[in-house]
Structure 1
Amino acid sequence: MKEQPIIEIKNLHKAFGKNKVLKGISLRVNKGEDLVILGRSGSGKSVAIKCLVGLLEADRGKLEIFGTDITKLNYEGLNKIRLKIGFMFQNGALYDSMSVRENLTFTLKHHTRHLTEENIEQQILEALESVGLQDAIDKMPSELSGGMIKRISLARTIIIKPEIIFYDEPTAGLDTITAQEISELILSVQKKYKTSSIIITHDMICAKMTGNRIIIIKEGLVHAEGTYEELENSTDPWVKSFFFATNQYAMGPGPTV
Protein backbone atom coordinates (compact mmCIF):
# COMPACT_ATOMS: atom_id res chain seq x y z
CA MET A 1 0.00 0.00 0.00
CA LYS A 2 1.38 3.41 -1.00
CA GLU A 3 2.28 5.64 1.95
CA GLN A 4 0.14 8.75 2.37
CA PRO A 5 2.04 11.98 1.60
CA ILE A 6 2.81 14.15 4.60
CA ILE A 7 1.74 17.25 2.59
CA GLU A 8 -0.63 17.36 -0.36
CA ILE A 9 -1.91 20.39 -2.24
CA LYS A 10 -4.81 19.80 -4.62
CA ASN A 11 -5.99 22.39 -7.16
CA LEU A 12 -4.93 25.42 -5.07
CA HIS A 13 -6.18 28.80 -6.26
CA LYS A 14 -5.26 32.18 -4.79
CA ALA A 15 -5.85 35.65 -6.19
CA PHE A 16 -5.28 39.17 -4.91
CA GLY A 17 -7.99 41.22 -6.52
CA LYS A 18 -7.70 40.65 -10.27
CA ASN A 19 -4.19 39.22 -9.94
CA LYS A 20 -4.53 35.42 -10.11
CA VAL A 21 -1.31 34.17 -8.52
CA LEU A 22 -2.09 30.46 -8.11
CA LYS A 23 -4.30 28.92 -10.78
CA GLY A 24 -4.76 25.35 -9.59
CA ILE A 25 -1.39 23.97 -8.47
CA SER A 26 -1.16 20.43 -7.11
CA LEU A 27 1.85 18.85 -5.41
CA ARG A 28 2.76 16.35 -2.73
CA VAL A 29 5.63 15.87 -0.26
CA ASN A 30 6.43 12.39 0.95
CA LYS A 31 7.65 11.60 4.46
CA GLY A 32 11.37 12.33 4.82
CA GLU A 33 11.56 14.15 1.47
CA ASP A 34 13.08 17.54 0.66
CA LEU A 35 11.00 19.11 -2.13
CA VAL A 36 12.44 22.18 -3.87
CA ILE A 37 10.09 24.69 -5.50
CA LEU A 38 11.53 26.89 -8.24
CA GLY A 39 9.93 29.70 -10.17
CA ARG A 40 10.43 33.26 -11.32
CA SER A 41 9.65 36.08 -8.90
CA GLY A 42 5.89 36.46 -8.54
CA SER A 43 5.14 32.90 -9.67
CA GLY A 44 3.40 32.07 -6.37
CA LYS A 45 6.02 29.97 -4.54
CA SER A 46 5.82 31.83 -1.24
CA VAL A 47 2.05 32.29 -1.54
CA ALA A 48 1.59 28.51 -1.62
CA ILE A 49 3.65 28.12 1.57
CA LYS A 50 1.74 30.90 3.33
CA CYS A 51 -1.52 29.16 2.46
CA LEU A 52 -0.15 25.91 3.92
CA VAL A 53 0.55 27.50 7.31
CA GLY A 54 -2.66 29.52 7.36
CA LEU A 55 -1.03 32.94 6.93
CA LEU A 56 -3.13 33.34 3.79
CA GLU A 57 -6.56 31.87 3.12
CA ALA A 58 -6.87 29.78 -0.04
CA ASP A 59 -9.63 30.81 -2.45
CA ARG A 60 -10.16 27.22 -3.55
CA GLY A 61 -8.51 23.82 -3.24
CA LYS A 62 -7.41 21.28 -0.64
CA LEU A 63 -4.40 21.69 1.64
CA GLU A 64 -3.71 18.44 3.47
CA ILE A 65 -1.05 18.12 6.17
CA PHE A 66 -0.70 14.80 8.02
CA GLY A 67 -3.84 13.72 6.13
CA THR A 68 -5.95 16.61 7.48
CA ASP A 69 -7.41 19.32 5.22
CA ILE A 70 -6.36 22.48 7.06
CA THR A 71 -8.91 24.60 5.15
CA LYS A 72 -11.58 22.89 7.26
CA LEU A 73 -9.91 23.54 10.63
CA ASN A 74 -10.78 26.19 13.19
CA TYR A 75 -8.08 28.34 14.82
CA GLU A 76 -7.36 25.81 17.58
CA GLY A 77 -7.11 22.91 15.13
CA LEU A 78 -4.79 24.86 12.86
CA ASN A 79 -2.51 25.75 15.79
CA LYS A 80 -2.15 22.06 16.69
CA ILE A 81 -0.87 21.41 13.16
CA ARG A 82 1.45 24.44 13.32
CA LEU A 83 3.14 23.05 16.44
CA LYS A 84 4.63 20.33 14.22
CA ILE A 85 5.90 22.79 11.59
CA GLY A 86 9.07 24.88 11.56
CA PHE A 87 9.53 27.91 9.30
CA MET A 88 12.92 29.37 8.35
CA PHE A 89 12.30 32.89 7.08
CA GLN A 90 14.37 34.52 4.34
CA ASN A 91 15.70 37.33 6.55
CA GLY A 92 16.22 35.17 9.66
CA ALA A 93 13.51 37.07 11.58
CA LEU A 94 15.46 37.15 14.87
CA TYR A 95 14.39 39.58 17.59
CA ASP A 96 17.06 42.30 17.49
CA SER A 97 16.66 43.20 21.18
CA MET A 98 17.25 39.59 22.33
CA SER A 99 20.48 37.59 22.50
CA VAL A 100 20.75 34.28 20.68
CA ARG A 101 19.96 32.48 23.94
CA GLU A 102 16.88 34.67 24.52
CA ASN A 103 15.65 34.21 20.93
CA LEU A 104 15.77 30.43 21.28
CA THR A 105 14.33 30.49 24.80
CA PHE A 106 11.38 32.59 23.64
CA THR A 107 10.58 30.16 20.81
CA LEU A 108 10.91 27.11 23.05
CA LYS A 109 8.73 28.51 25.86
CA HIS A 110 6.09 29.64 23.37
CA HIS A 111 5.98 26.15 21.86
CA THR A 112 6.38 23.92 24.94
CA ARG A 113 5.03 24.76 28.38
CA HIS A 114 6.35 23.69 31.80
CA LEU A 115 10.00 23.22 30.85
CA THR A 116 12.67 23.46 33.55
CA GLU A 117 15.51 25.96 33.11
CA GLU A 118 17.91 23.01 32.86
CA ASN A 119 15.81 21.45 30.10
CA ILE A 120 15.67 24.73 28.19
CA GLU A 121 19.44 25.18 28.40
CA GLN A 122 20.04 21.62 27.22
CA GLN A 123 17.76 22.01 24.19
CA ILE A 124 19.29 25.38 23.26
CA LEU A 125 22.81 23.94 23.35
CA GLU A 126 21.71 20.93 21.28
CA ALA A 127 20.12 23.16 18.62
CA LEU A 128 23.17 25.43 18.46
CA GLU A 129 25.48 22.43 18.26
CA SER A 130 23.46 21.15 15.28
CA VAL A 131 24.28 24.36 13.38
CA GLY A 132 27.84 24.69 14.72
CA LEU A 133 27.31 27.89 16.73
CA GLN A 134 27.39 27.04 20.44
CA ASP A 135 29.91 29.85 20.99
CA ALA A 136 27.39 32.44 19.76
CA ILE A 137 24.86 31.74 22.52
CA ASP A 138 25.24 35.13 24.23
CA LYS A 139 25.76 37.26 21.13
CA MET A 140 23.22 39.81 19.88
CA PRO A 141 21.90 39.59 16.30
CA SER A 142 23.81 42.78 15.43
CA GLU A 143 27.06 40.92 16.20
CA LEU A 144 26.30 38.10 13.75
CA SER A 145 27.21 37.79 10.07
CA GLY A 146 24.54 37.00 7.48
CA GLY A 147 25.52 33.34 7.45
CA MET A 148 25.44 33.16 11.26
CA ILE A 149 21.97 34.70 11.33
CA LYS A 150 20.76 32.00 8.91
CA ARG A 151 22.29 29.32 11.14
CA ILE A 152 20.68 30.74 14.29
CA SER A 153 17.38 30.98 12.44
CA LEU A 154 17.73 27.30 11.56
CA ALA A 155 18.57 26.47 15.20
CA ARG A 156 15.41 28.30 16.28
CA THR A 157 13.44 26.31 13.71
CA ILE A 158 14.70 22.89 14.80
CA ILE A 159 14.57 23.55 18.55
CA ILE A 160 10.84 22.70 18.55
CA LYS A 161 11.59 19.33 16.90
CA PRO A 162 9.28 19.91 13.90
CA GLU A 163 8.19 17.12 11.59
CA ILE A 164 7.94 19.55 8.67
CA ILE A 165 10.17 22.53 7.83
CA PHE A 166 9.43 25.25 5.29
CA TYR A 167 12.55 27.08 4.04
CA ASP A 168 11.99 30.44 2.33
CA GLU A 169 15.10 31.34 0.28
CA PRO A 170 17.52 29.89 2.89
CA THR A 171 20.66 30.96 0.99
CA ALA A 172 19.52 34.38 -0.26
CA GLY A 173 22.07 37.14 0.21
CA LEU A 174 24.94 34.79 1.08
CA ASP A 175 28.27 34.27 -0.65
CA THR A 176 28.76 30.99 -2.53
CA ILE A 177 30.74 29.21 0.20
CA THR A 178 28.35 30.19 3.01
CA ALA A 179 25.34 29.28 0.84
CA GLN A 180 26.79 25.80 0.32
CA GLU A 181 27.33 25.46 4.08
CA ILE A 182 23.65 26.31 4.70
CA SER A 183 22.61 23.77 2.06
CA GLU A 184 24.74 21.13 3.79
CA LEU A 185 23.08 22.04 7.11
CA ILE A 186 19.63 21.52 5.56
CA LEU A 187 20.71 18.02 4.56
CA SER A 188 22.16 17.41 8.03
CA VAL A 189 18.91 18.51 9.70
CA GLN A 190 16.86 16.21 7.45
CA LYS A 191 19.08 13.27 8.36
CA LYS A 192 19.24 14.00 12.11
CA TYR A 193 15.62 14.99 12.74
CA LYS A 194 13.93 12.96 9.95
CA THR A 195 12.11 16.07 8.72
CA SER A 196 10.07 16.54 5.55
CA SER A 197 10.68 19.90 3.88
CA ILE A 198 9.66 22.36 1.21
CA ILE A 199 12.53 24.58 0.09
CA ILE A 200 11.77 27.72 -1.91
CA THR A 201 14.91 28.97 -3.62
CA HIS A 202 16.39 30.76 -6.63
CA ASP A 203 19.76 29.18 -5.83
CA MET A 204 20.29 26.31 -8.26
CA ILE A 205 23.27 24.96 -6.34
CA CYS A 206 21.08 24.80 -3.22
CA ALA A 207 18.38 23.08 -5.29
CA LYS A 208 20.85 20.52 -6.58
CA MET A 209 22.32 19.82 -3.13
CA THR A 210 19.10 19.61 -1.12
CA GLY A 211 16.27 18.56 -3.42
CA ASN A 212 15.17 14.94 -3.60
CA ARG A 213 12.68 16.26 -6.14
CA ILE A 214 12.11 19.64 -7.80
CA ILE A 215 8.93 21.35 -8.96
CA ILE A 216 9.00 24.40 -11.24
CA ILE A 217 6.02 26.77 -11.12
CA LYS A 218 5.14 28.90 -14.13
CA GLU A 219 2.27 31.39 -14.20
CA GLY A 220 0.54 29.87 -11.16
CA LEU A 221 0.72 26.23 -12.29
CA VAL A 222 3.18 23.36 -11.89
CA HIS A 223 5.06 23.41 -15.20
CA ALA A 224 7.66 20.68 -14.64
CA GLU A 225 8.65 18.11 -12.02
CA GLY A 226 11.54 15.70 -11.55
CA THR A 227 15.00 15.25 -10.10
CA TYR A 228 17.67 17.89 -10.72
CA GLU A 229 19.28 15.70 -13.38
CA GLU A 230 15.96 15.02 -15.14
CA LEU A 231 15.06 18.70 -15.31
CA GLU A 232 18.59 19.74 -16.28
CA ASN A 233 18.31 17.42 -19.30
CA SER A 234 14.83 18.65 -20.25
CA THR A 235 14.27 19.74 -23.85
CA ASP A 236 11.85 22.46 -22.67
CA PRO A 237 13.64 25.80 -23.31
CA TRP A 238 11.92 27.48 -20.36
CA VAL A 239 12.97 24.71 -17.96
CA LYS A 240 16.52 24.70 -19.34
CA SER A 241 16.80 28.44 -18.71
CA PHE A 242 16.92 27.75 -14.95
CA PHE A 243 20.04 25.65 -15.39
CA PHE A 244 21.92 27.75 -17.94
CA ALA A 245 23.47 30.24 -15.48
CA THR A 246 24.48 27.44 -13.11
CA ASN A 247 26.22 25.52 -15.89
CA GLN A 248 27.98 28.66 -17.08
CA TYR A 249 29.21 29.29 -13.52
CA ALA A 250 30.45 25.70 -13.20
CA MET A 251 32.44 25.99 -16.45
CA GLY A 252 34.10 29.21 -15.27
CA PRO A 253 34.96 32.22 -17.43
CA GLY A 254 35.60 31.76 -21.10
CA PRO A 255 38.99 32.27 -22.77
CA THR A 256 40.40 35.78 -23.02
CA VAL A 257 41.29 37.14 -26.45
Structure 2
Amino acid sequence: MKKETENTAEVKASKKKAIIEIKDLHKTFGKKNHILKGVNFTVNKGEDLVILGRSGSGKSVTIKCIVGLISPDKGEIYVFDENVLELQKKELNEMRVRIGFLFQSGALYDSMTVRENLAFTLRKHKPDLTSKEVEKEVLEALDNVGLVDAVDKMPSELSGGMRKRIGLARTLILKPEIILYDEPTTGLDTITSREISELILDIKHKQKTTAIIITHDMACAKLTADRIIVLKEGIIHAEGTYEELEKSEDEWVRSFFE
Protein backbone atom coordinates (compact mmCIF):
# COMPACT_ATOMS: atom_id res chain seq x y z
CA MET A 1 0.00 0.00 0.00
CA LYS A 2 2.85 2.32 0.85
CA LYS A 3 4.39 1.76 -2.57
CA GLU A 4 1.12 2.68 -4.29
CA THR A 5 0.96 5.90 -2.27
CA GLU A 6 4.52 6.81 -3.22
CA ASN A 7 3.83 6.09 -6.89
CA THR A 8 0.70 8.22 -6.80
CA ALA A 9 2.68 11.06 -5.25
CA GLU A 10 5.32 10.75 -7.96
CA VAL A 11 2.67 10.92 -10.70
CA LYS A 12 1.10 14.01 -9.13
CA ALA A 13 4.50 15.66 -8.78
CA SER A 14 5.37 14.98 -12.43
CA LYS A 15 2.07 16.46 -13.58
CA LYS A 16 2.80 19.65 -11.63
CA LYS A 17 6.20 20.11 -13.25
CA ALA A 18 6.37 23.35 -15.23
CA ILE A 19 7.30 22.68 -18.85
CA ILE A 20 7.00 26.37 -19.84
CA GLU A 21 7.87 29.29 -17.56
CA ILE A 22 7.51 32.95 -18.52
CA LYS A 23 9.05 35.63 -16.30
CA ASP A 24 8.52 39.40 -16.58
CA LEU A 25 8.04 39.39 -20.37
CA HIS A 26 8.05 42.79 -22.08
CA LYS A 27 7.65 43.66 -25.76
CA THR A 28 7.25 47.02 -27.47
CA PHE A 29 6.77 47.61 -31.20
CA GLY A 30 7.91 51.03 -32.34
CA LYS A 31 8.27 53.71 -29.69
CA LYS A 32 4.86 53.62 -28.02
CA ASN A 33 3.15 50.31 -28.80
CA HIS A 34 3.96 48.55 -25.51
CA ILE A 35 2.20 45.19 -25.96
CA LEU A 36 3.59 43.09 -23.09
CA LYS A 37 4.28 44.85 -19.79
CA GLY A 38 5.55 42.13 -17.49
CA VAL A 39 3.76 38.86 -18.24
CA ASN A 40 4.37 35.97 -15.82
CA PHE A 41 2.93 32.45 -16.01
CA THR A 42 3.81 28.77 -16.09
CA VAL A 43 2.33 25.82 -17.97
CA ASN A 44 2.55 22.43 -16.29
CA LYS A 45 3.34 19.21 -18.11
CA GLY A 46 0.15 17.72 -19.57
CA GLU A 47 -1.86 20.92 -19.06
CA ASP A 48 -3.96 22.76 -21.66
CA LEU A 49 -3.74 26.48 -20.88
CA VAL A 50 -6.11 28.89 -22.66
CA ILE A 51 -5.11 32.55 -23.07
CA LEU A 52 -7.94 35.06 -23.44
CA GLY A 53 -7.72 38.76 -24.21
CA ARG A 54 -9.01 41.45 -26.53
CA SER A 55 -7.38 41.96 -29.93
CA GLY A 56 -3.93 43.50 -29.52
CA SER A 57 -3.52 42.33 -25.93
CA GLY A 58 -0.38 40.33 -26.76
CA LYS A 59 -1.66 36.75 -26.93
CA SER A 60 -0.02 35.83 -30.23
CA VAL A 61 3.10 37.85 -29.41
CA THR A 62 3.52 35.80 -26.25
CA ILE A 63 3.49 32.41 -27.96
CA LYS A 64 5.72 33.66 -30.78
CA CYS A 65 8.25 34.71 -28.13
CA ILE A 66 8.13 31.18 -26.69
CA VAL A 67 9.40 29.64 -29.96
CA GLY A 68 11.79 32.47 -30.80
CA LEU A 69 9.81 33.95 -33.70
CA ILE A 70 9.76 37.27 -31.83
CA SER A 71 12.46 38.48 -29.44
CA PRO A 72 11.17 40.14 -26.26
CA ASP A 73 12.73 43.37 -24.99
CA LYS A 74 13.01 42.00 -21.48
CA GLY A 75 12.20 38.86 -19.51
CA GLU A 76 13.00 35.16 -19.32
CA ILE A 77 11.47 32.20 -21.14
CA TYR A 78 12.18 28.65 -20.02
CA VAL A 79 11.00 25.66 -22.05
CA PHE A 80 12.07 22.12 -21.09
CA ASP A 81 14.19 23.82 -18.37
CA GLU A 82 16.23 25.71 -20.98
CA ASN A 83 16.41 29.47 -21.35
CA VAL A 84 15.08 30.05 -24.88
CA LEU A 85 16.68 33.49 -25.13
CA GLU A 86 20.17 32.06 -24.57
CA LEU A 87 19.95 29.27 -27.15
CA GLN A 88 22.08 29.29 -30.28
CA LYS A 89 20.33 28.90 -33.64
CA LYS A 90 21.02 25.13 -33.84
CA GLU A 91 19.77 24.55 -30.28
CA LEU A 92 16.67 26.68 -30.92
CA ASN A 93 15.83 24.69 -34.05
CA GLU A 94 16.21 21.44 -32.11
CA MET A 95 13.80 22.75 -29.49
CA ARG A 96 11.30 23.87 -32.13
CA VAL A 97 11.01 20.28 -33.37
CA ARG A 98 9.60 19.43 -29.92
CA ILE A 99 7.07 22.29 -30.15
CA GLY A 100 4.20 22.25 -32.64
CA PHE A 101 2.76 25.59 -33.79
CA LEU A 102 -0.68 25.67 -35.41
CA PHE A 103 -1.12 29.01 -37.18
CA GLN A 104 -4.53 30.64 -37.68
CA SER A 105 -4.54 29.90 -41.41
CA GLY A 106 -3.15 26.38 -41.15
CA ALA A 107 -0.24 27.74 -43.28
CA LEU A 108 -0.28 24.98 -45.91
CA TYR A 109 1.74 25.22 -49.12
CA ASP A 110 -0.89 25.77 -51.81
CA SER A 111 1.23 24.25 -54.58
CA MET A 112 1.62 20.92 -52.75
CA THR A 113 -0.83 18.09 -52.13
CA VAL A 114 -1.70 17.16 -48.57
CA ARG A 115 0.77 14.26 -48.78
CA GLU A 116 3.53 16.57 -50.04
CA ASN A 117 2.81 19.18 -47.34
CA LEU A 118 3.25 16.63 -44.57
CA ALA A 119 6.17 14.82 -46.20
CA PHE A 120 8.02 18.11 -46.73
CA THR A 121 7.90 18.90 -43.01
CA LEU A 122 8.99 15.39 -42.08
CA ARG A 123 11.92 15.24 -44.52
CA LYS A 124 13.12 18.68 -43.44
CA HIS A 125 13.54 17.56 -39.83
CA LYS A 126 14.15 13.82 -40.29
CA PRO A 127 16.13 13.47 -43.54
CA ASP A 128 17.24 9.89 -42.80
CA LEU A 129 13.74 8.42 -43.12
CA THR A 130 13.06 6.17 -46.11
CA SER A 131 10.19 6.89 -48.51
CA LYS A 132 8.25 4.01 -46.97
CA GLU A 133 8.74 5.40 -43.46
CA VAL A 134 7.68 8.88 -44.59
CA GLU A 135 4.49 7.49 -46.15
CA LYS A 136 3.69 5.58 -42.95
CA GLU A 137 4.15 8.70 -40.82
CA VAL A 138 2.05 10.83 -43.21
CA LEU A 139 -0.88 8.39 -43.13
CA GLU A 140 -0.63 8.02 -39.35
CA ALA A 141 -0.74 11.79 -38.87
CA LEU A 142 -3.76 12.08 -41.17
CA ASP A 143 -5.47 9.22 -39.36
CA ASN A 144 -5.05 11.15 -36.10
CA VAL A 145 -7.17 13.98 -37.53
CA GLY A 146 -9.59 11.73 -39.44
CA LEU A 147 -8.54 12.79 -42.95
CA VAL A 148 -6.63 9.90 -44.55
CA ASP A 149 -8.93 10.17 -47.59
CA ALA A 150 -7.67 13.71 -48.27
CA VAL A 151 -4.04 12.62 -48.76
CA ASP A 152 -3.96 13.43 -52.51
CA LYS A 153 -6.07 16.59 -52.41
CA MET A 154 -4.74 20.11 -52.95
CA PRO A 155 -5.32 22.71 -50.20
CA SER A 156 -7.69 24.61 -52.54
CA GLU A 157 -10.00 21.55 -52.51
CA LEU A 158 -10.33 21.57 -48.73
CA SER A 159 -12.89 23.34 -46.54
CA GLY A 160 -11.72 25.67 -43.77
CA GLY A 161 -12.19 22.95 -41.16
CA MET A 162 -10.28 20.43 -43.26
CA ARG A 163 -7.41 22.87 -43.73
CA LYS A 164 -7.21 23.30 -39.96
CA ARG A 165 -7.12 19.52 -39.52
CA ILE A 166 -4.40 19.11 -42.15
CA GLY A 167 -2.41 21.92 -40.54
CA LEU A 168 -2.74 20.08 -37.25
CA ALA A 169 -1.68 16.78 -38.88
CA ARG A 170 1.43 18.52 -40.21
CA THR A 171 2.13 19.76 -36.67
CA LEU A 172 1.58 16.29 -35.19
CA ILE A 173 3.80 14.48 -37.67
CA LEU A 174 6.91 15.47 -35.69
CA LYS A 175 5.27 14.17 -32.48
CA PRO A 176 5.71 17.41 -30.50
CA GLU A 177 5.56 17.49 -26.72
CA ILE A 178 4.07 21.00 -26.71
CA ILE A 179 1.51 22.43 -29.15
CA LEU A 180 0.78 26.14 -29.48
CA TYR A 181 -2.65 26.76 -31.02
CA ASP A 182 -3.23 30.27 -32.41
CA GLU A 183 -7.00 30.77 -32.80
CA PRO A 184 -7.68 27.15 -33.89
CA THR A 185 -11.41 27.69 -34.51
CA THR A 186 -11.41 31.18 -36.06
CA GLY A 187 -13.57 31.45 -39.19
CA LEU A 188 -15.24 28.07 -38.67
CA ASP A 189 -18.93 27.33 -38.15
CA THR A 190 -20.16 26.20 -34.75
CA ILE A 191 -20.20 22.47 -35.53
CA THR A 192 -16.74 22.46 -37.12
CA SER A 193 -15.37 24.58 -34.26
CA ARG A 194 -16.57 22.01 -31.78
CA GLU A 195 -15.00 19.21 -33.84
CA ILE A 196 -11.63 21.01 -33.76
CA SER A 197 -11.96 21.61 -30.01
CA GLU A 198 -12.73 17.93 -29.44
CA LEU A 199 -9.75 17.03 -31.63
CA ILE A 200 -7.49 19.18 -29.42
CA LEU A 201 -8.71 17.20 -26.40
CA ASP A 202 -8.27 13.90 -28.21
CA ILE A 203 -4.68 14.79 -29.13
CA LYS A 204 -3.92 15.72 -25.54
CA HIS A 205 -5.06 12.32 -24.31
CA LYS A 206 -3.56 10.25 -27.14
CA GLN A 207 -0.26 12.07 -27.58
CA LYS A 208 0.16 13.25 -23.95
CA THR A 209 0.83 16.80 -25.16
CA THR A 210 0.98 20.09 -23.29
CA ALA A 211 -0.72 23.04 -24.99
CA ILE A 212 -1.30 26.77 -25.02
CA ILE A 213 -4.52 27.69 -26.82
CA ILE A 214 -5.21 31.26 -27.88
CA THR A 215 -8.88 31.72 -28.66
CA HIS A 216 -11.82 34.13 -28.73
CA ASP A 217 -14.14 31.12 -28.94
CA MET A 218 -15.54 30.59 -25.44
CA ALA A 219 -17.04 27.22 -26.38
CA CYS A 220 -13.52 26.10 -27.34
CA ALA A 221 -12.13 27.52 -24.08
CA LYS A 222 -14.77 25.76 -22.00
CA LEU A 223 -14.12 22.41 -23.67
CA THR A 224 -10.31 22.46 -23.77
CA ALA A 225 -9.03 24.55 -20.86
CA ASP A 226 -7.60 23.08 -17.70
CA ARG A 227 -6.82 26.66 -16.74
CA ILE A 228 -7.37 30.10 -18.27
CA ILE A 229 -5.36 33.31 -18.02
CA VAL A 230 -6.74 36.65 -19.17
CA LEU A 231 -4.45 39.32 -20.61
CA LYS A 232 -5.39 42.98 -20.23
CA GLU A 233 -3.21 45.96 -21.13
CA GLY A 234 -0.06 43.86 -21.31
CA ILE A 235 -0.31 41.95 -18.04
CA ILE A 236 -2.23 38.98 -16.67
CA HIS A 237 -5.41 40.39 -15.22
CA ALA A 238 -7.08 37.16 -14.06
CA GLU A 239 -6.45 33.42 -13.81
CA GLY A 240 -8.56 30.38 -12.96
CA THR A 241 -10.73 27.62 -14.36
CA TYR A 242 -13.55 28.38 -16.80
CA GLU A 243 -16.10 27.99 -14.01
CA GLU A 244 -14.18 30.26 -11.62
CA LEU A 245 -13.73 33.07 -14.13
CA GLU A 246 -17.32 32.81 -15.34
CA LYS A 247 -18.40 33.68 -11.78
CA SER A 248 -15.76 36.38 -11.28
CA GLU A 249 -16.77 39.55 -9.48
CA ASP A 250 -14.71 41.45 -12.06
CA GLU A 251 -17.18 42.78 -14.63
CA TRP A 252 -14.52 42.98 -17.36
CA VAL A 253 -13.56 39.32 -16.89
CA ARG A 254 -17.21 38.25 -16.88
CA SER A 255 -17.76 40.08 -20.18
CA PHE A 256 -15.89 37.27 -21.98
CA PHE A 257 -18.50 34.77 -20.82
CA GLU A 258 -21.63 36.70 -21.80
TM over 0.5, shorter chain: yes
Question: Which residue of structure 1 aligns with residue 20 of structure 2?
Answer: 7
Counterpart-to-counterpart distance in 1, 2:133 and 2:126: 11
Aligned-pair identity in percent equals 65
1:21 Cα shift? 0.3
1:75 Cα shift? 1.0
- Name segments (4+ residues, structure 1) moved above 2 Å: 1-4
In the alignment of these two chains, the number of paired residues is: 244
The C-alpha deviation readout for 1:108-137, integer Å capped at 9, x for no partner, is 111212001111111111111111100000
Q: Does 1:103 align with 2:123?
A: no
Question: Which residue of structure 1 aligns with residue 91 of structure 2?
Answer: 77
Given that 1:4 and 1:67 are in contact with CA atoms closer than 8 Å, whether structure 2 keeps it comes out as no
Output the aligned Cα RMSD.
0.9
Q: Does 1:121 align with 2:135?
A: yes
1:227 Cα shift? 0.4
Tell me which amino acid in the other structure corresponds to 1:10: K
> What is the SS of the residue equivalent to 1:234?
coil
Q: What pairs up with 1:54-203 in 2 under 5 angstroms?
A: 54-203=68-217
Counterpart-to-counterpart distance in 2, 1:76 and 1:115: 20
1:4 Cα shift? 3.2
> What is the SS of the residue equivalent to 1:216?
strand
**Uncovered stretches (5+) of structure 1, i.e. residues with no partner:** 245-257
1:173 Cα shift? 0.1
| TM-score normalised by length of structure 1 | 0.93
Tell me which amino acid in the other structure corresponds to 1:220: G
Question: Which residue of structure 1 aligns with residue 220 of structure 2?
Answer: 206
The C-alpha deviation readout for 1:81-120, integer Å capped at 9, x for no partner, is 1110101010010000000000000011112120011111
**Uncovered stretches (5+) of structure 2, i.e. residues with no partner:** 1-9
The C-alpha deviation readout for 1:174-220, integer Å capped at 9, x for no partner, is 00000000000000111111000000000000000001100000000
1:78 Cα shift? 1.0
1:229 Cα shift? 0.2
**Of 16, 22, 35, which residue of structure 2 is paired with 1:21?**
35
> What is the SS of the residue equivalent to 1:97?
coil
Tell me which amino acid in the other structure corresponds to 2:40: S
Given that 1:104 and 1:159 are in contact with CA atoms closer than 8 Å, whether structure 2 keeps it comes out as yes
Given that 1:35 and 1:197 are in contact with CA atoms closer than 8 Å, whether structure 2 keeps it comes out as yes
Counterpart-to-counterpart distance in 1, 2:74 and 2:23: 9
Tell me which amino acid in the other structure corresponds to 1:8: E
Question: Which residue of structure 1 aligns with residue 5 of structure 2?
Answer: none
Counterpart-to-counterpart distance in 2, 1:116 and 1:11: 45
